[in-house]
Amino acid sequence: MDVAPIFRMEGISKRYGGVRALENAALTVAPGRIHAILGENGAGKSTLIKVMAGVVAPDEGRMTLEGREVKFASPSAANEAGIVCIFQELSLIPELTVADNIVISNPPKRFGMIDRKQQRRIAEDALARAGAEDIHPLALVKDLPLSRRQMVEIAKALARKPRILILDEATSALTAADVSKIFAVLKRLRSEGLALLYISHRMNEIAELADECTVFRNGRNVATYAAGTKSDTEVVELMIGREYSHIFPPKPPRIPVDRPPVLECRNLSWADRLNDISLTVDAGEVVGLGGLDGQGQRELLLAFFGVLRGLSGEVLIDGKPIRISSPAAARDKKIGMALIPEDRKTEGLMLPMTVRENLSFAALDLLARGGVINRGAEEGLIDEMIRLLAIRTAGLDIPVGTLSGGNQQKVVIAKWLMRHPRIILLNDPTRGIDVGTKQEMYQLLRRLADAGAAIVFYSTDYDELIGCCDRVLVLYEGAVKCELAGDDLTERALIASALDIDDRDVALRARMGA
Amino acid sequence: MSEMAGRISGRFPRLIRRADPAVVTAFGCILLLLLLGSLYSSNFLSLDYLLQQLKVASFLGVIAAGMMLVILLGHIDLSIPWVMTAGAMMACAAAGFGAVGAALAIPFGVLCGVAFGLVNGVGVAYLRIPSMIVTLATNVVAQGLMVVYTGGFSPQDSAPPAVRWLATGFVVPGLPNAVLVWLAVSGAMVFLLGRTSLGRTIYGIGNSERAAYLSGVSTRRVVMIAFAVCGGLAAFGGILLAGYSSKAAQAMGDAYLLPSIAAVVLGGTSILGGRGSYLGTVAGVILITLLQSILSVMQMPEAGRQIIYGVVIVAMLLFYGRAPASR
Amino acid sequence: MKDWRYRLADQRGTLIALALFLLMFTIYIANHPAGLTANVAQTAANKGVLLAFIAMAQALVVITAGIDLSVGMIFLLTNCLASWIVVGAPVPTALGVAGVLIAGMVCGAINGLLVIYGRLQPIVATIATGAVYFGIALLLRPFPGGSVNEDLADVFTGKLFGVVPSSLVALAAVVLLVWLPFRRSEIGRAAYAAGSSESAAFMSGVPIRRGKFAAYTLAGLLAAVGGLFLTFFTYTGEAAYASGNGYTLWSIAAVVLGGVSLYGGKGSAVGAIFGAFAARTTGDMLFVFDVDPLWQPLLQGIVLMLAVSIGAFGLLRVRNRLEWFG
């Protein structure tokens, strides 16, 4: 490194209860550089950033800013030192306006009151710097779509005049056009001498932006290298710490059947989010949903599960048209549908309730006679599920929130498997869980399919789609862009159709950064 | 046989291990109060006094049971005062219609409470109006109806003998019927919350209605039922109270709203819903009744009673009812 | 979109409340035998401002996603206190007024401390403090009585220049001196931010605690202004439990009618004022229509029920059922 570092952290450790999030981690940041941080979910990246930004206090270790040791008691303390973070979970206040949010930590004042004219100027200036002039400063944040909110978040960070800017998955909800705007902004900031920390799962983004990269694994930094000196495969191996192969179960050959598909939809449309979608899922088949995040995949699953109102088009179960008006109807024995929802913490589980109560919650109607729960039957079914999914828990009567992320997700899946569903919808089930559990889940999916279940599997991870699915439908702006199967199911093809571009351009575009 | 023994011994420590610190504290406070009271007068430890207190507590107990269901869902019912009064007045009114009326007086009063509860439930569950505001409106409507009813024509407002017997009579010598009624309601609550799928669902909705809905539970129906039960129990509590004071009066319910919420919360039930045990509510009810009684026996003026009452609630909540620190 | 459309959308709740009130008030005046005379306006204003002050107080706390069930009791406590100390020569009277206002602020500050540092749920904490405040009120006035500086009282309950009800002028002054500075200050914005999303506010380095504390304390102050006016109207102090409770409950209704969201972060105390006026006018309207007084509470309840159900029409537009759960 040829530039003097501006910020250094050494020996940083942080534990949450018994879980080690960071162990003796170190990082050095230099001005005028973009530093990428890579690592799997749970590798400690988020905790590291939270320590830097003053959200979390480390148990051990020291941080120095321009050679002076610093400690941040709160996010505002870090902000004052010039460290500004754009968090993965947004830090915008929904009921306030865009301008209010941009100046929130230090509003301009006149006579003790907030100077609205000045605030407006600052906001417009910051929005322009972020390349988001289309956002009105007086709009309420809650009325903006997710991608616009993320732009506001970036503008808000810029308005604080940071010296170190941290972007944690800041582009995950953005459209391709926004991403290229942001990249231009980031490059300009780099040339202005800012230190930038960039965290992303998108290798092509890192390839375009980063000057150097640090890989995290199991709570510590395992390698730092200049960008472009390692191949993608080498990086992935550093991230997972072993050979990156053979983690998917083999796919059995498909035998055509003359029964009608278990789940089918024809010309399904909803609001402006789903656009004329038709698909079929046979028994024993795993059908993947691909595409960039937010292209209607979640809505499609919710539509099947009876959550959305005002659907047009048809849903057919076993070839018979049917109208599903609630999850209660969807889980009914005649349909036998299950949905593993997007957010296990708020939609899948009741965190303070016990493992037992969570496991049997979706099957209470089967376990109760005359409204009274048959405890013996409950116990039996729970034992079966714990064994089947190898759920690691210290007991059935501890809050499910104390389990690790992977085991929590297993509980969500198990609670639905207790009903022996015929149709299983999964909404990005492997997000934020460890590699080992992911593998178990891939095996489980295939076993369920082999036992005759029809599975719809949405994932933001392309490798998973390729490894697990018999077919993948790529969605783009709420419509099916293409269907990939067999040898056509490659990362290249997935990316190409996800970005809605011609296959030939992919290699080029990927290097350019979407 | 050995399996049986194993299960019992296996369950017993669990009961202790799972005992909610709030419930233990609440019962501890009850003992402390009795102890302090006995320093003042040995009467406080006499069986007669304790049974009398249980009898007085039973009205609040029946009402708090319903309130607990609603609070477990993360909602609140502010319509208690006039739903109570309406239940009591309607029961007394029904008794005016000869033998049939007298026989149906109690069920009719409870049914009126259920009807008000259903209005609350529909507003909260189906119209998604915040419970605080729907139940407030229901309270005003119930009050309006009762004002019209009592003003329009001279009502029958003295409690019929059956109601009086239920509140003050004795089936078991020495044990007031009201206490038996409370015991029965309590038994039903323990069974409902612990053993039935409705109870489980109530806890589930209280923790995350979204997760419960996505689990395929008809959450709206459950919320509506809980409010209906709460209304019914409030009316029943009102009827018992009317039997105790031998007539239904206009403002009889005013003094029961806040104590019923306080009893539930002092018993360790989270006001945000999803957490709490019925045993705690029983403890909360006894605690509040005892506190009020001891203060009045000590001839503390009403002002002092209110102050001590509020301070004790704050102190106990500070002791165990705090939210976790944010960082 | 143009700026004014955003500004309009921002004030929608307040404007709807204003429209509701104007509609009801017009009907009321049109059917009033005397029409809109200065005296009619004065009577209406004097009836309305009490609830308006309490509703403003409630709105401040509700904006932080809290609730203050002790606000009616602070109102009684300050009324009873005022009936002791707002008496005599101008200087003692002025000191008395200051004392009453400070007492209200202390009550509000205690609520704030319990909620912020005691980490108690606002609903239960204020139930408990409400009992304490009522107890103190009762201690001050076991029986209705006392007196007040009647000259001062008449100034605040009479008419300015023989036309404008001075209680309305006082209300406007409070809006200008208390509400607007709060709304425009960083502290006030912190209160809104804390109510809208406490975690996002924390991450953004917003002074959440100061914002909430200011909201609770100012709520106490506004309740005390209400208590002071009650004393001006009645010339006495009275610890009437049912009345205090009634004011607390109606303040919640007024806040909701005024477009303040019980989930926090949204609405304005000005909306709450119109909500309070609308609620009060309901009662008056029934009076001019010669409705049997017996039926008034019931009709008032039904109007309230309908008013709060209006919001439910928004449900018909919800196309994703998960939005039911907020």
- For the stretch A432-446, pLDDT in tens is 677 778 888 999 999
Structural domain boundaries, residue A407: 344-420
Within a domain: A48: yes
Residue range C188-231, pLDDT digits in tens: 999 999 999 988 888 888 889 999 999 999 999 999 999 999 99
Q: Residue B278 — pLDDT band, cuts 50, 70, 90?
A: very high
B210 touches chain C (CB under 8 A): yes
Closest CB to A346: pick one of B195, B197, B211. Answer: B211
Indicate yes or no: CB of B143 within 8 angstroms of CB of C322: no
pLDDT at A511 (0 to 100): 43
DSSP string, C25-92: HHHHHHHSTT-S-HHHHHHHHHHHHHHHHHHHHHHHHHHTT---TTHHHHHHHHHHHHHHHS-SSHHH
Indicate yes or no: CB of C265 within 8 angstroms of CB of A93: yes
C-alpha distances in Å from residue B1, one per residue of A283, A379, B5, B11: 47, 20, 6, 15
Structural domain boundaries, residue B234: 59-256
DSSP B124: I
Indicate yes or no: CB of B216 within 8 angstroms of CB of A341: no
- First and final C-alpha spacing in chain C: 27
The total number of structural domains in chain B stands at 1
Residue range A366-424, pLDDT digits in tens: 999 888 999 999 999 999 999 998 888 888 888 898 887 788 999 999 999 999 999 99
Indicate yes or no: CB of A140 within 8 angstroms of CB of C10: yes
Residue range B192-212, pLDDT digits in tens: 999 999 999 999 999 999 999
**Polymer length in residues for chain A:** 514
- The answer to whether the CB of B288 falls within 8 A of the CB of B259 is yes
| Listed residue (B311, B317, A74, B269) closest to C118, CA to CA | B317
Residue range B239-251, pLDDT digits in tens: 999 998 888 888 8
All chains having 3 or more CB pairs closer than 8 angstroms to chain A:
B, C
Those residues of chain C that have pLDDT short of 50 are none
The total number of structural domains in chain A stands at 3
DSSP string, C107-131: HHHHHHHHHHTS---HHHHHHHHHH
A331 and A229 within one domain:
no
Closest CB to B207: pick one of A353, A360, A372. Answer: A353
- pTM more than 0.90: no
Within a domain: A254: no
Give the pairing of strands A220-226 and A212-217.
Answer: antiparallel
- The answer to whether the CB of B242 falls within 8 A of the CB of B248 is yes
All chains having 3 or more CB pairs closer than 8 angstroms to chain C:
A, B
**pLDDT higher than 50, residue A508:** no
A366 touches chain B (CB under 8 A): no
Residue range A218-256, pLDDT digits in tens: 788 888 988 888 877 777 777 766 545 547 888 888 777
In chain A, which residues have their Cβ closer than 8 Å to the Cβ of C181? 112-113
Last residue of a domain, one of A420, A436, A458: A420
Tell me how close the Cα of A47 comes to any Cα of chain B, in angstroms. 14
C-alpha distances in Å from residue A422, one per residue of A184, A194, C66, C82: 48, 54, 45, 72
Q: Token match 């999850």: residue? A: A327
In chain A, which residues have their Cβ closer than 8 Å to the Cβ of B219? none
Which SS3 state, helix, strand or coil, does residue A192 take? coil
Q: What does the alpha-carbon distance between residue A114 and residue C206 come to, in Å, rounded to a whole number? A: 14
A440 and A400 within one domain:
no
**pLDDT higher than 60, residue A346:** yes
Q: Residue A173 — pLDDT band, cuts 50, 70, 90?
A: low
- Facing residues of A337 across strands? A423
Question: What's the CATH number where A112 sits?
Answer: 3.40.50.300
- Facing residues of A426 across strands? A340, A457
Indicate yes or no: CB of C321 within 8 angstroms of CB of A113: no
More confident residue, A137 or A168: A137
Looking at chain B from residue 60 to 79, which residues have their Cβ under 8 Å from any Cβ of chain C? 76, 78
A308 touches chain C (CB under 8 A): yes
Tell me how close the Cα of B292 comes to any Cα of chain A, in angstroms. 34
Residues of C with CB under 8 A from a CB of A: 1, 3, 6-7, 9-10, 181, 184-186, 189, 192-193, 195-197, 200-206, 264-266, 318-322
Interhelix angle A405-417/A375-389, rounded to 10 degrees, is 130
More confident residue, C55 or B34: C55
Which residues, at least 6 apart from A320, have a Cβ–Cβ distance to it below 8 Å? none
Tell me how close the Cα of A93 comes to any Cα of chain C, in angstroms. 6
Last residue of a domain, one of A398, A420, A442: A420
- Facing residues of A454 across strands? A423
pLDDT at A506 (0 to 100): 46
Minimal Cα distance from A372: which residue of B? B196
Within a domain: B233: yes
A412 and A426 within one domain:
no
Q: What does the alpha-carbon distance between residue B114 and residue B91 come to, in Å, rounded to a whole number? A: 13
More confident residue, C320 or B152: C320
Neighbours of C159 (CB within 10 A): 17
CATH 2.60.40 for the C3-325 domain, yes or no: no
A374 and A314 within one domain:
no
- First and final C-alpha spacing in chain B: 51
**pLDDT higher than 80, residue B50:** yes
pLDDT at B322 (0 to 100): 66
| Listed residue (B128, A265, B123) closest to C315, CA to CA | B128
**Polymer length in residues for chain C:** 326
Which residues, at least 6 apart from B208, have a Cβ–Cβ distance to it below 8 Å? A346, A347, A349, A350, A351, B274
Q: Residue A501 — pLDDT band, cuts 50, 70, 90?
A: low
B211 touches chain C (CB under 8 A): no
Closest CB to B307: pick one of C136, C252, C299. Answer: C136
Within a domain: B71: yes
Residue range A439-472, pLDDT digits in tens: 889 999 999 999 999 999 998 777 888 889 999 9
Looking at chain A from residue 11 to 30, which residues have their Cβ under 8 Å from any Cβ of chain C? none
**What is the amino acid identity at position B176?**
P
In chain B, which residues have their Cβ closer than 8 Å to the Cβ of C209? none
Closest CB to B129: pick one of C121, C137, C312. Answer: C312
Within a domain: B81: yes
A89 and A33 within one domain:
yes
Minimal Cα distance from A331: which residue of B? B216
- The answer to whether the CB of A84 falls within 8 A of the CB of A195 is no
C-alpha distances in Å from residue B304, one per residue of A476, B299, C124: 69, 10, 20
- The answer to whether the CB of C164 falls within 8 A of the CB of C249 is no
Q: What does the alpha-carbon distance between residue B141 and residue B135 come to, in Å, rounded to a whole number? A: 10
A67 touches chain C (CB under 8 A): no
Looking at chain B from residue 190 to 219, which residues have their Cβ under 8 Å from any Cβ of chain A? 195-198, 200-201, 203-204, 207-208, 210-218
pLDDT at A242 (0 to 100): 55
Give A476's Cβ-side CA count (13 Å radius).
14
Q: What does the alpha-carbon distance between residue A75 and residue A71 come to, in Å, rounded to a whole number? A: 11
pLDDT at B77 (0 to 100): 94
Residue A102 burial (10 A CB sphere; 0-12, 13-18, 19+): buried
DSSP string, A424-439: EEEESTTTT--HHHHH
C-alpha distances in Å from residue B161, one per residue of A215, B92, B126, B158: 81, 10, 40, 9
Within a domain: A2: no
Beta strands in B153-308 (DSSP E): 170-172, 175-176
Indicate yes or no: CB of A94 within 8 angstroms of CB of C1: no
CA geometry: angle C154, C160, C165, nearest 5 deg = 75
A201 and A89 within one domain:
yes
| Listed residue (C233, C177, C216, C220) closest to C48, CA to CA | C233
Within a domain: B143: yes
Q: What does the alpha-carbon distance between residue B90 and residue A477 come to, in Å, rounded to a whole number? A: 60
A438 and A506 within one domain:
yes
In chain A, which residues have their Cβ closer than 8 Å to the Cβ of B207? 350-353
Residue range A14-45, pLDDT digits in tens: 887 556 788 888 999 999 999 998 876 667 88
Give me the mean pLDDT over the A485-507 stretch.
70
Name which of A361, A396, A400, A412 to mutate to probe chain B: the one with the most chain B Cβ atoms within 10 A of its Cβ.
A361
Within a domain: A248: no
Within a domain: B158: yes
Indicate yes or no: CB of A362 within 8 angstroms of CB of B216: yes
- The torsion angles phi and psi of A30, rounded to 5 degrees, stand at -115, 150
**pLDDT higher than 70, residue B14:** no
E strand or H helix that includes residue B316: helix B302-320
- Facing residues of A482 across strands? A474
Indicate yes or no: CB of B196 within 8 angstroms of CB of A373: yes
Neighbours of C294 (CB within 10 A): 14
Minimal Cα distance from B273: which residue of A? A352
Within a domain: A250: no
A318 and A440 within one domain:
yes
Interface predicted TM-score of the whole assembly (ipTM), two decimals:
0.85
- First and final C-alpha spacing in chain A: 28
Tell me how close the Cα of B209 comes to any Cα of chain A, in angstroms. 9
